[in-house]
């Protein structure tokens, strides 16, 4: 199949959406944190833990949706840890985030190994199956490409729409943006800066946990240690690429999905000539390129990473 | 409740905080050990014995500390200038693979010269790797956290391609590893029948050099100013960009040297799993040391002890080895809290 | 208990400490509806702290606050706003990336509401805007507004929340004299409609012209209450400072060779023209004053002459050498002293020790370093000399510089500059935020330097300062410089016009 023909198959676009879904969750989650002014570098670890705990819940007998819920709750707990340390206590957002990532990732390995001893074949569960939507799934090309996805993918799109609506059309979203642009300004209007910031980090981290769980509950069906592979960091790049706007961030996630799905197929086509590792570097390289292009232009929330101490002279 | 800046942070307080942080972390992680069904005191006893309880244990701990000293120094140097280099893992691997690639071709040179060439080339590789993200930061305002992190993954893929391809060891029975470095270039062992090698001494010497530069040189002064207040530093005439580039070269070079030492000190070849996260653990080592170069030596020995001891603990009580990483990650968070209380006083209003 | 509905604010025995510093010492005051009260005091007297307690930013250690007869919950801005208190802060609390209407309506509706009531809020805003004569474009991004417009948004923010008491903190610090009188006209309108107005100021003429009552604060306590009719300017000045105020005045000297020459200098910053075709000269033994409201291009001009920026066109010559690249160290070595306008954030590295800050501009020179290693003993000796000569108090040499008070910090910055016997001094807002004693000291040192044949460029917002010290004065407005006028013919009204961009009317360009 030629390089171009790959692009026009429905299975390709279905793969794009499947690859993009965890990134959508993670990027919107990080976007919410950063819009409130908090950089959350715990994302990689939170996604890893969400992947593990969601899978474990299902392995121990829960339903797939219960797995997603538990993953979201685990995200809120790590988010609460990060939020409390960085907002009321004002610790360095960079180092705290790295600490949370290391803690969450290693804790996930620890718990997994505690429950399941080492074996040659990792245990599996039955993951989400794609659902058909009446009438839409029968459309030519668009049907199998876009409308035969797994339920969490539709949830991801709904979350993007919800995030956009809340941020730009509700009083809560406006207050959140205010907190991320000028903490003193928000404070002078009686808005609780600490409350909103911690709340944003908790909600964002819940989404991150769900994104991780998608990997084990939908994309794959088992948990292995190098599961997340830097997707969390890509999400941070995608937030910048999307200029902190949910719609553009979604676009970024889809573009990433396109490149990742494409490089997988290129691997299959050209694996003999070029080592497969070269193809695998493409998505990372493109993320760096996206950052290089967008960093100067994107309007960053003015209070991002500026700590706020109430009542300090 | 309000925070008030302390007039002076006593040096005693600064010394006590890492020790207190680690103690609190051990206390908190006791819960995780109990969940594994092991007796906490017994388990920690094994940990201590496994780390420092015998001469052999000590050599193991110091061996594990060697790369941590270097990645710890790398993080300390960078973080003090507020250059968030999270790419030490990649810089270490790149240093290692360059060392391995050259190391097979240095038979002609006398041992010490071969080692010098290999160590410097490893350092150079690490330097060049960090230069890219640093220039992106200075010229285009790109945050270096994500770029250095993503480069880690790219370097690992590169190393994987190299050791499965051009640098492959044909005698390695299918396990992916690089061709070994010539015997003459390997570092001498410090203790017979143990893994401890001269790299440890080299690492400590490097730490002393970095400490001297940091505390006594004009460059160290300039880097400190840039890290604390970049606007004031610029106003005072300090060449910001030049300073940050030099900091980056130093930081990347140190991590690269860490990789080189691992290759010529231990096995002589590179495998994909040769680093269990030394680059990331180096950050924790640096923070526990309060970003002081000499403190890095002490904290890396301690952190290495946790890992070595956890291996022993794991063998005795069937506790997953990841507990070591958990303990160390918790101690990082506790250390941040402790630093906060060392700097500020809590007032109830 | 008789309720007095016309008493808007009652503060009783308010006391507030910050560590060892007693900022407010048992202050009691009353403000009624329909009156404009001024809180007058020099910098550091405790005026802002007191109002911050009223507005809920700080919690008082002792004392009570009553708004319209009801006790106000301490420490809650939300409670203060609900009680009817509105505050216009000295440093605006607006989000530059949000629009005017977004800034104004954020935080006013319950978070549980699913939709912003944008149409209603827009109507309300337009109503308030026309009622009080404060014109704004609701959909403009605040970042694009001028300073005067931003202040209008700040005021509208308070009015939108139905403020019955309006507190303004140094409201005219960033306004031209004409904009200032327009503001006070608006305030009088509001007072006539029943609001209580409190404004904080350290400007004597302003409070005498605009307040119904003047409360003088000194060292954290109210020392006097006057009305404009019963108080002379000198009496107020003395009450403010606690002793007779004598500021040094300039003595004219014959000027010498040019030290700093700018010919048609412009500075572009991306898409913005920050400085437009500036031409001026600073000579030996003279002080050239540059007045202007902050944000009109002084920053750009200061960056150029302190070595932080390079002209995009035109020619700038310092001590005979054209400035072609950004090199502050060369300037320092050549004998240019630079006093930045933000001494805490730019003048020192707050977390570095005092001795390191003393040598920071010269750390690479042979005096303080050899072969790249710092000569610590030489540096310590030098710092000890500075501390003694300039009476720097408050921190031993190896403690963090940020522990120094504003006045002592300025002594350190001036000291390290003057100790090198500079030929040219760039003084950017040198007395901003300092108390009278410190101001007098700085002025004395500048005049002494002038006697030693130094040339001084004095950039300031303070008209009193520039008329007292400068030999020649020019104004800056929107990046353009006015003609230079001799000090003898400069007066507040004329300077005010120049600061607002009107300089064709003035006479005698020099």
**pLDDT > 70 fraction of chain B, expressed in percent and rounded:** 96
- Give the pLDDT of residue C399: 86
**Residue C25 pLDDT exceeds 50:** yes
Subunits next to B (3 or more Cβ pairs <8 Å) are A, C
The answer on pLDDT for A5 being more than 80 is no
A176, A190, A244, A312: which to substitute to probe chain C, counting the most C Cβ within 10 Å? A190
Q: What one-character-per-residue DSSP string does C211-263 give?
A: -SEEEEEETTEEEEEE-GGG--HHHHHHHHHSS-------------SEEEEEE
Q: Is the pLDDT of residue A177 over 90?
A: yes
Q: What are the pLDDT digits (tens) for C195-205?
A: 999 999 988 88
Which of C308, C351, C373 lies nearest to residue B235, judging by beta carbons? C308
Ranges of H-type helices in A36-150: 43-59, 64-86, 93-115, 142-146
* Angle of CA points C63, C67, C70, to nearest 5°: 85
How far is B220 from chain C, CA to nearest CA, in Å? 9
Q: Is residue B33 part of a domain?
A: no
Q: pLDDT class for C5, splitting at 50, 70, 90? A: low
For residue C2, pLDDT over 50 is answered with: no
Cβ contact, residue pair A109, B153, below 8 Å: no
Q: At what angle do helices A93-115 and B278-288 cross, to 10 degrees?
A: 130
Across the interface, whether the CB atoms of C347 and B235 are under 8 A apart is answered yes
Beta bridge partners of C505: none
Residue B257's pLDDT band, with cuts at 50, 70 and 90, is very high
**Other CB atoms within 10 A of residue B343 CB:** 15
For C107, which of A178, A181, A301 is closest by C-beta distance? Answer: A178
Question: Hey, what are C285's tokens?
Answer: 């033994």
Of C80, C97, C116, the CB nearest to A181: C97
User: Of C360, C400, C403, which to mutate for an interface test with B (greatest number of B Cβ within 10 Å)?
Assistant: C360
Determine the residue among C58, C89, C93 to mutate to test chain A binding: the one whose Cβ has the most chain A Cβ atoms within 10 Å. Answer: C93
Give me the pLDDT at residue C509, please.
43
By DSSP bridging, strand C62-67 and strand C70-71 are antiparallel
- ∠ CA B197-B203-B206, nearest 5°, is 150
Q: Which residues of A touch B323 (CB under 8 A)?
A: 110
Domain extent, residue B183, equals 69-296
Q: How confident is the model over C122-130, as a mean pLDDT? A: 92
Residue B46 covered by a domain: no
Categorize the per-residue pLDDT at C1 as very low, low, confident or very high, splitting at 50, 70 and 90.
very low
Helix C177-192 vs helix C147-160: angle between axes, to the nearest 10 degrees? Answer: 10
Higher pLDDT, C272 or A217: A217
Say yes or no for a CB contact (<8 Å) between C328 and B224: no
Q: Which of C18, C58, C107 sits opposite A191 (nearest CB)?
A: C107
Task: Give percent of chain A above pLDDT 90.
Answer: 63
Q: How far is B56 from chain A (nearest CA, A)?
A: 27
Q: Which residues of A touch C109 (CB under 8 A)?
A: 171
CB atoms within 10 A of CB C224: 16
Average pLDDT, stretch A113-119? 84
Tell me, yes or no, whether B248 lies in a domain.
Answer: yes
Using 50, 70 and 90 to split pLDDT, how confident is the model at B2? low
Q: Which two tokens stand for residue A165?
A: 């609506």
B27 within some domain: no
B216 interfacial to chain C (CB closer than 8 Å): yes
pLDDT at residue B25 tops 70: yes
Cβ atoms of A161 and C106 closer than 8 Å: no
Interchain proximity B143–A103, CB inside 8 Å = no
Write down the pLDDT at residue B4: 66
pLDDT confidence bin for C505, thresholds 50/70/90? very low
Instruction: Please state which of the ranges A38-52, A98-112, B13-27, C363-377 shows the lowest mean pLDDT.
Output: B13-27
Q: Is the pLDDT of residue B66 over 90?
A: yes
What domains can be seen in chain C, in order of their start residue? 7-241 (3.40.50.300), 249-335+422-510 (3.40.50.300), 350-413 (no CATH)
Radius of gyration of chain B (CA): 21
A153 phi and psi, to 5 degrees?
-65, -45
| Residue whose C-alpha is closest to residue B158's, from B116, B97, B68 | B97
**A contact set with C (CB within 8 A):** 169-172, 174-175, 177-178, 181-182, 184-191, 299, 301-302, 310-311, 313
Chain C residue whose CA is closest to A178: C95
What DSSP string describes C49-96?
HHHHHHHTSS--SEEEEEETTEEPPTT-HHHHHHHTEEEE-SS----T
pLDDT in tens, C349-401: 999 999 999 999 999 899 999 999 999 999 999 999 999 999 898 878 888 89
Nearest-Cα distance to chain B for C328, in Å, is: 5
pLDDT for the residue B107:
79
Which residues in chain C touch residue A184, judged by CB atoms under 8 angstroms apart? 89, 91, 93
Can you tell me the mean pLDDT for B262-280? 92
- Taking only the tens place, the pLDDT of each residue in C314-341 is 999 999 999 999 999 999 999 999 999 9
A100 interfaces chain B, CB cutoff of 8 Å: yes
Number of folded domains that form chain B: 1
B7 occurs within a structural domain: no
Q: Does A90 touch chain B (CB under 8 A)?
A: yes
C-beta separation of A83 from A140 below 8 A: no
Indicate whether B207 belongs to any domain. Answer: yes
**Which of B7, B218, B232 lies closest to C364 in CB terms?**
B218
CA distance B219 to B243: 7
pLDDT single digits (tens) A230-273: 999 999 999 999 999 999 999 999 999 999 998 888 888 777 78
Q: What are phi and psi of A95, to 5 degrees?
A: -70, -40
- How far off is chain A from B51, nearest CA to CA, in Å? 20
Nearest to C136 by CA among C159, C121, C153: C153
Contacts across the A-C interface (CB distance below 8 Å):
90
Query: Parallel, antiparallel, or unpaired: how do β-strands C62-67 and C36-40 relate?
Result: unpaired
Average pLDDT (B250-270) is 94
pLDDT for residue C286: 94
Distance from CA of C400 to the nearest CA of A (A): 17
Tell me whether residues A229 and B151 touch, CB distance under 8 A.
no
Give kind and range of the element (H or E) at residue C455. Answer: strand C455-460
pLDDT in tens, C467-501: 999 999 999 998 999 999 999 888 888 888 888 88
Q: Are C426 and C457 in contact (CB under 8 A)?
A: yes
- A56-65 residue pLDDT tens: 999 999 999 9
What average pLDDT does chain B have? 90
Contact residues on chain C for A200, CB-CB shorter than 8 A: none
Report the chain A residue with the minimal C-alpha distance to residue B330.
A103
pLDDT at B193 over 90: no
Q: How far apart are CA C12 and CA A208, in angstroms?
A: 51
The two tokens of residue A199 are: 């709340």
Between CA A259 and CA A290 the distance in angstroms is 13
Q: At residue C402, does pLDDT exceed 90?
A: no
Mean pLDDT throughout B264-269? 89
What is the percent of chain B with per-residue pLDDT over 90, rounded to a whole number? 63
A230–B322 C-beta distance less than 8 A: no
Average pLDDT of C19-35?
A: 90
Average confidence score pLDDT of chain C: 90
The answer, yes or no, to whether residue C54 has pLDDT greater than 80, is yes
Give the one of A175, A185, A301 whose C-beta lies nearest to C94's C-beta.
A185
pLDDT surpassing 90 at residue C184: yes
Length of chain C: 510
**pLDDT score of A3 more than 80:** no
pLDDT value of residue C436: 83
ipTM: 0.91
Does residue B323 belong to any structural domain of this protein?
no
Stretch A67-91: mean pLDDT: 95
Strand duo C62-67 + C165-169: pairing? unpaired
Angle at C141 between CA C135 and CA C142, to 5 degrees: 70
Tokens of C54: 């009223």
**B50 within some domain:** no
Residue A113 touches partner B, C-beta closer than 8 Å: yes
Q: How far apart, in whole angstroms, are the C-alpha atoms of residue A232 and residue A30?
A: 9
* Mean pLDDT, residues A16-42: 96
- pLDDT digit string, tens, across residues A136-166: 777 777 777 778 888 899 999 999 999 999 9
The pLDDT mean for chain A works out to 90
Judged by a CB distance cut-off of 8 A, whether residue B225 touches chain C is yes
Residue to mutate among B237, B238, B349, with most C CBs inside 10 A, is B237
Contacts of A180 (CB under 8 A, 6+ apart): A34, A35, A36, A37, A301, A302, A303, A304
Q: What is the pLDDT of residue A1?
A: 56
Distance (Å, whole) CA C109 – CA A93: 30
What value does the mean pLDDT take over residues A50-77? Answer: 95
> A134 CB contacts (<8 Å, ≥6 apart)?
none
The C-alpha atoms of residue C508 and residue C488 are separated, in whole angstroms, by 11
Beta bridge partners of C334: none
Q: CA-CA distance, C152 to C162, in Å (whole number)?
A: 15
Q: Is A3 on the interface with B (CB under 8 A)?
A: no
Residue C364 to residue B234, Cβ atoms within 8 A: no
């Amino acid at each position: 199949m030629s390089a171009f023909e790959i692009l026009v198959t429905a299975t390709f676009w279905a793969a794009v959406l499947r690859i993009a879904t965890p990134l959508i969750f993670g990027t919107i989650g990080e976007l919410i944190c950063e819009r409130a002014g908090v950089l959350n570098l715990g994302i990689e670890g939170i996604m890893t833990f969400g992947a593990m705990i969601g899978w474990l819940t299902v392995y121990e007998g829960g339903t797939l949706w219960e797995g997603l819920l538990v993953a979201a709750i685990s995200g809120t707990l790590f988010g609460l840890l990060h939020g409390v340390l960085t907002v009321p206590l004002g610790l360095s957002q960079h180092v705290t985030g790295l600490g949370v990532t290391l803690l969450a990732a290693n804790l996930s390995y620890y718990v997994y190994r505690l429950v399941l001893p080492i074996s040659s074949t990792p245990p599996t569960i039955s993951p989400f199956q794609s659902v058909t939507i009446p009438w839409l799934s029968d459309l030519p090309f668009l049907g199998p490409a876009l409308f035969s996805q797994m339920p969490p993918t539709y949830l991801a799109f709904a979350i993007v729409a919800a995030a956009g609506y809340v941020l730009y059309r509700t009083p809560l979203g406006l207050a959140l943006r205010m907190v991320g642009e000028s903490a003193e300004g928000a404070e002078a209007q009686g808005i609780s800066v600490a409350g909103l910031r911690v709340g944003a980090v908790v909600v964002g981290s819940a989404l991150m946990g769900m994104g991780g769980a998608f990997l084990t509950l939908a994309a794959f069906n088992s948990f292995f240690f190098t599961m997340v592979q830097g997707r969390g960091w890509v999400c941070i790049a995608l937030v910048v690429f999307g200029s902190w706007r949910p719609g553009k961030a979604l676009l970024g996630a889809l573009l990433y999905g396109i490149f990742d799905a494409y490089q997988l197929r290129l691997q299959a086509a050209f694996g003999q000539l070029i080592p497969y590792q070269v193809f695998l570097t493409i998505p990372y390289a493109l993320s760096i390129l996206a950052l290089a292009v967008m960093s100067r232009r994107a309007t960053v929330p003015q209070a991002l990473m500026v700590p706020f101490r109430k009542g300090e002279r | 409740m309000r925070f008030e800046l302390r007039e002076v942070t006593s040096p005693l307080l600064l010394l006590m905080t890492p020790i207190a942080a680690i103690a609190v972390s051990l206390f908190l992680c006791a819960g995780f050990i109990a969940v594994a069904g092991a007796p906490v005191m017994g388990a920690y006893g094994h940990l201590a014995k496994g780390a420092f309880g015998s001469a052999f244990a000590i050599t193991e701990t110091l061996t594990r500390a060697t790369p941590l000293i270097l990645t710890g120094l790398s993080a300390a140097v960078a973080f003090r200038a507020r250059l968030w280099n999270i790419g030490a893992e990649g810089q270490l691997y790149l240093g290692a693979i360059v060392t391995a690639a050259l190391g097979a071709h240095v038979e002609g040179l006398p041992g010490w010269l071969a080692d010098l060439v290999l160590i410097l080339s490893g350092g150079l590789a690490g330097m060049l790797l960090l230069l890219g993200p640093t220039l992106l930061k200075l010229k285009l305002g790109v945050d270096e956290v994500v770029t250095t992190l993503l480069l880690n993954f790219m370097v690992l893929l590169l190393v994987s391609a190299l050791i499965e391809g051009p640098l492959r060891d044909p005698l390695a029975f299918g396990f992916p590893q690089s061709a070994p470095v010539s015997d003459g270039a390997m570092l001498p062992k410090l203790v017979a029948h143990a893994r401890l090698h001269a790299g440890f001494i080299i690492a400590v010497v490097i730490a002393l050099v970095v400490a001297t530069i940091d505390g006594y040189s004009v460059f160290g002064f300039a880097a400190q100013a840039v890290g604390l207040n970049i606007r004031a530093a610029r106003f005072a005439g300090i060449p910001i960009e030049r300073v940050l580039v030099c900091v980056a070269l130093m930081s990347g070079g140190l991590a690269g040297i860490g990789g080189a030492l691992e290759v010529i000190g231990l096995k002589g070849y590179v495998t994909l799993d040769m680093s269990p996260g030394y680059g990331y653990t180096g950050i924790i080592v640096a923070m526990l040391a309060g970003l002081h170069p000499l403190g890095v030596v002490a904290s890396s020995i301690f952190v290495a002890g946790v890992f070595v001891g956890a291996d022993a603990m794991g063998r005795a009580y069937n506790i997953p080895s990841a507990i070591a990483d958990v303990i160390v990650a918790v101690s990082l968070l506790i250390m941040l809290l402790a630093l906060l209380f060392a700097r500020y006083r809590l007032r109830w209003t | 208990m008789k309720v007095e509905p016309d008493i808007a604010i009652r503060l009783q025995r308010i006391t507030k400490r910050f560590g060892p510093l007693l900022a407010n010492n048992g202050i009691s005051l009353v403000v009624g509806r329909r009156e404009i009260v001024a809180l007058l005091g020099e910098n550091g007297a405790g005026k802002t702290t007191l109002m911050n307690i009223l507005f809920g930013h700080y919690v008082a250690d002792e004392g009570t606050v009553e708004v319209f007869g009801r006790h106000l919950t301490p420490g809650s801005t939300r409670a203060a706003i609900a009680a009817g208190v509105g505050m216009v802060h000295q440093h605006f609390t607006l989000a530059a990336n949000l629009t005017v209407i977004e800034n104004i309506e954020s935080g006013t509706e319950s978070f549980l509401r699913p939709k912003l009531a944008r149409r209603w809020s827009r109507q309300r805003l337009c109503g308030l805007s026309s009622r009080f004569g404060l014109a704004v474009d609701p959909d403009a991004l605040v970042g694009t507004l001028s300073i005067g417009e931003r202040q209008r948004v700040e005021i509208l923010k308070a009015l939108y929340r139905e403020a019955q008491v309006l507190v303004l903190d140094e409201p005219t610090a960033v306004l031209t004299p004409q904009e200032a009188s327009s503001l006070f006209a608006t305030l009088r309108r509001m007072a006539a409609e029943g609001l209580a107005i409190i404004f904080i100021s350290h400007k004597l003429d302003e409070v005498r012209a605009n307040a119904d009552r003047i409360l003088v604060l000194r060292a954290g306590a109210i020392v006097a209450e006057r009305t404009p009719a019963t108080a002379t300017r000198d009496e107020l000045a003395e009450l403010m400072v606690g002793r007779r105020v004598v500021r040094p005045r300039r003595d004219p000297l014959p000027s010498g060779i040019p030290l700093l020459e700018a010919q048609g200098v412009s500075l572009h910053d991306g898409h913005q023209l920050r400085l437009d075709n500036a031409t001026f000269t600073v000579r030996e033994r003279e002080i050239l004053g540059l007045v202007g409201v902050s944000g009109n291009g002084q920053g750009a001009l200061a960056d150029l002459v302190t070595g932080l920026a390079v002209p995009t066109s035109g020619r700038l010559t310092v001590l005979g050498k054209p400035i072609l690249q950004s090199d502050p160290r060369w300037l320092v070595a050549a004998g240019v002293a630079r006093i930045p306008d933000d001494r805490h954030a730019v003048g020192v590295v707050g977390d570095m020790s005092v001795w390191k800050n003393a040598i920071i501009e010269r750390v690479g020179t042979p005096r303080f370093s050899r072969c790249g290693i710092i000569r610590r003993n030489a540096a310590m000796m030098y710092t000890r000399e500075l501390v003694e000569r300039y009476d720097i108090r408050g921190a031993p040499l190896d403690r963090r510089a940020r522990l120094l008070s504003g006045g002592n910090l300025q002594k350190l910055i001036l000291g390290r500059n003057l100790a090198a016997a500079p030929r040219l001094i760039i003084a950017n807002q040198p007395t901003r935020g300092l108390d009278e004693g410190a101001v007098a000291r700085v002025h004395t040192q500048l005049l002494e330097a002038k006697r030693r044949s130094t040339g001084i460029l004095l950039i300031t917002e303070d008209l009193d300062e520039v008329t007292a010290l400068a030999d020649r004065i020019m104004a800056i407005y929107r990046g353009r410089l006015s003609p230079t006028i001799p000090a003898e013919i400069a007066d507040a009204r004329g300077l005010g016009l120049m600061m607002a961009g009107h300089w064709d009317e003035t006479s005698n360009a020099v």
